[in-house]
Structure 1
Amino acid sequence: MKLLRMEKVGDGKFLKNYELTYLNKAGREKKYEMVSRRELSSPEDLGQTPSGVSIVAVCQGKMLLLHEFRMGINRNVYNLCAGMLEEGESVEDCIQRELYEETGLSVKRIRDILPASFAAVAFSDVTTYIAIVEAEGEMFDHTSENEQIDSRFYTREEVRELIQTEQFSSRAQLAAYFFALGALTEERESGDENICILPAGI
């Protein structure tokens, strides 16, 4: 495939619409629609600037999942804590801010930050980081009036059941699957028995 040209065809508040014209392997032109969060001045800009972060958080052997209403699909899904990088913000600061804003929790330790990857490769050049963190603190709601989120920690057995019975975002589903298999078992240090205060009934 050879990209011949790129044309901006729409300009929303948060998303920019582009039409890409390719020369396919049969020698014919193929038009393809995509969206970006960034203003793209040339094809070289596609996928070059990470937009945000998704956070896989664990605490005392449990995994954090957000049951949130997503306007784009008009329903609740299980999702990871996630958000957009602000201008001039480091990835580490974004992780701290988003976890606190959406759950009230703090980051005890960042285990790893994976290189930015494409979040919706079929129709967008958006790339985000995935962070694996240990969380601590007490949960409470800092979200805006336009967000509806129920944050909870779940055991491996609970996550295993949710995967079979509930709807997930794809990244949250994959992270939950590996957590249920024991891949994200928390490393607990001596004296850290109470690093996270869970809501009543959890």
Structure 2
Amino acid sequence: MKLTAYKKLFTSRFLNLFEIHYRDREGRPRTWQLVSRERTGPKCFSGRLATADAVVIVAYHLERRRLVVIREFRVAVGGFLYGFPAGLVDPGESIEMAAKRELLEETGLTVVDHHRTSPVVFSSSGITDETVVIAHVDCAGDPSDAGNTSSEQIETLFVGQADAKRLCGDDTIFLDVKTWLVLSGFAAGGPVR
């Protein structure tokens, strides 16, 4: 398998569509389409695969002794999705800074301790080169939606182990894959920090 070239098919403010040309293991030419946040070219050509586009925040509320989960309207699913607070990392911003900013904007909660950060991981490598980092933090405060824009509808939830088990087993709701993985582990063994 060898990547040979790419062509930009579409561009917008946040997403770009590229056609990737490559040779399969028998040397035959093939194409693949992918969505990227990169404007100049897909990450597989730019060498930026180890750079995080976004941060996902797994926040543990110290006073309530619960994980912070959000229920957010997502256009792509035409309804509400349960997930963790998350957002794009701004240029020049560290992962820790982005996690603090996004948690405050989406939930009104404040990061009080940053425990660990995952390596860069891919959100859905079959269709995009988007990369995320998962930040595990402790937080405090009372929830607020004051930081939400008019295009966001976010409800902050505090989830204990029994709640996590119920959410993971409820096939009537939509769950983000990262959230399902963390919540299923939390339901089985407690906080993952």
* Same fold by TM-score greater than 0.5: yes
SS at match of 2:22: strand
- Name which of 43, 46, 49 aligns with 1:47: 49
Indicate the SS of the match to 1:77: strand
Residue 36 of structure 1 corresponds to 36
Aligned-pair distance for 1:114? Answer: 1.1
Counterpart pick for 2:59 among 54, 57, 60: 57
1:72-131, CA deviations, whole angstroms, 9 ceiling, x for partnerless residues?
Answer: 121111011000011211111111100000000000111101111111211111111100
Q: Which residue of 1 aligns with 2:176?
A: 169
Quick check: 1:54–1:131 contact (8 Å CA) kept in 2? Answer: yes
Deviation at 1:147, TM superposition (A): 0.4
Cα separation, 2, equivalents of 1:158 and 1:13: 37
Do the aligned partners of 2:109 and 2:139 also contact (CA within 8 Å) in 1?
yes
**Structure 1: which 5+ runs fail to align?**
187-202
Structure 2 gaps of 5+ residues are none
Structure 2: how far apart are the matches of 1:40 and 1:119?
20
Distance 2:59 2:150 in 1: 24
Which segment drifts farther, 41-50 or 64-73? 41-50
Secondary structure at 1:72 match in 2: helix
8 Å contact kept, 1:40–1:46:
no
Q: Give the letter for the 1:18 counterpart.
A: F
Aligned-pair CA distance for 1:46: 5.3
Q: Residue 98 of structure 1: which of 94, 97, 102 is its match? A: 102
**Residue in 1 that maps onto 2:144:** 140
Q: Which is higher, the Rg of structure 1 or of structure 2?
A: 1
Q: What are the equivalent positions in structure 2 for 1:175-194 lying under 5 Å apart?
A: 175-184=182-191
The whole-number CA distance in structure 2 between the counterparts of 1:22 and 1:46 is: 19
Q: What TM-score results when the alignment is normalised by the length of structure 1?
A: 0.87
- Aligned counterpart, 1:155: 160
Cα deviations across residues 13-44 of structure 1 (Å, max 9, x unaligned)? 11011100111123211110001101234713
Deviations 1:29-64 (A, max 9, x none): 111000110123471335243211000111243111
User: 2:25: which partner in 1?
Assistant: 25
Q: Would you say 1:4 and 2:11 are equivalent positions?
A: no
| Count, aligned residues | 186
**TM-aligned CA deviation for residue 144 of structure 1:** 0.5
TM-score by length of 2: 0.91
Distance 1:48 1:131 in 2: 16
Residue 7 of structure 1: how far off its partner (Å) = 1.0
**2-structure distance, mates of 1:56, 1:162:** 16
